[in-house]
Amino acid sequence: MSMAFADYLFLLAAMGAVTYLPRWLPVFLLSRRPLPSWLIDWLDLIPVAVLAALLAPALLADSAPRALNLGKPELLVAVPTLLFALKTRSLGGTVLLGMFLYWLTGIVL
């Protein structure tokens, strides 16, 4: 890296600031006033939407270059992992099973 340490620190401070602001502003503003019920209903759907939006490309698409891929081992492993999660509702168990099956596909496939 050709950058001086002081410049690097300045970069980190600026990156930290623009990262912190979107994390802090809503929780600071919205926690101090009563929220309208429609907003609470909408926000109630945000976690499931965010999780699905984060997961779907990881399971269904290649990253470089971006392309649809319905044959990824990630997707194959997701099926039994999802069923296990539905059945047991155990977070730790699901994580470990997913890791184990993914490790297996790395050996078998």
Partner 1 sequence: MADAINYKGNSPCRPYCGDPALTATPSWGTLRKRPDSRGVVSRFLKGQGMDNSLTTSARWRQGLGAAWPICLGYLPLGIALGVLARQAGIDPLGIGLMSLLVFAGSAQFIAVAMLAAGASVGAIVLATLVVNIRHLLMSSALAVYLRGVGPGFLALFAYGITDESFAVNMTRFRSGDWDRWRALIVNQAANAAWVLSTVAGAFLGELIPAGAFGIDYALIGMFLCLLVFQLRGAFHLFTALVAGALSVACYLAVPGDSYVVVAAVAAASAGFLLQRHKRRGRR
Segment 42-61, which members bind partner 1 (CB under 8 A)? 42-61
Q: Which is nearer to partner 1, 71 or 91 (CB)?
A: 91
**Taking the alpha carbons of 71, 104, 66, 83 in that order, is the dihedral positive or negative?**
positive
Q: Which helix (H) or strand (E) holds 30?
A: helix 5-30
**Partners of 63 in the β-ladder:** 66
DSSP-assigned beta bridge partners for residue 68:
61
Q: What is the DSSP letter of 76?
A: H
Residue 68 binds partner 1 (CB under 8 A): yes
- List 36, 102, 108, 109, residue binding partner 1 (CB under 8 A): 102
Binding mask 1-40 for partner 1 (x = CB under 8 A): xxx-x-xxxxxxxxxx-xxx-xxxxxxxxxxx-xx--x-x
Q: How far is the CB of 70 from partner 1 (least distance, A)?
A: 11
Give the number of residues in contact with partner 1, rule: CB under 8 A. Answer: 81
Q: What x/- string results for residues 72 through 91 when contact with partner 1 is judged by CB under 8 A?
A: --x--xx--xx--xx-xxxx
Between vectors from CA 13 to CA 12 and to CA 19, what angle results, nearest 5°?
85
**Cβ of residue 9: shortest distance to partner 1, in angstroms?**
7
Cα 8 to the chain's mean position, in Å?
28
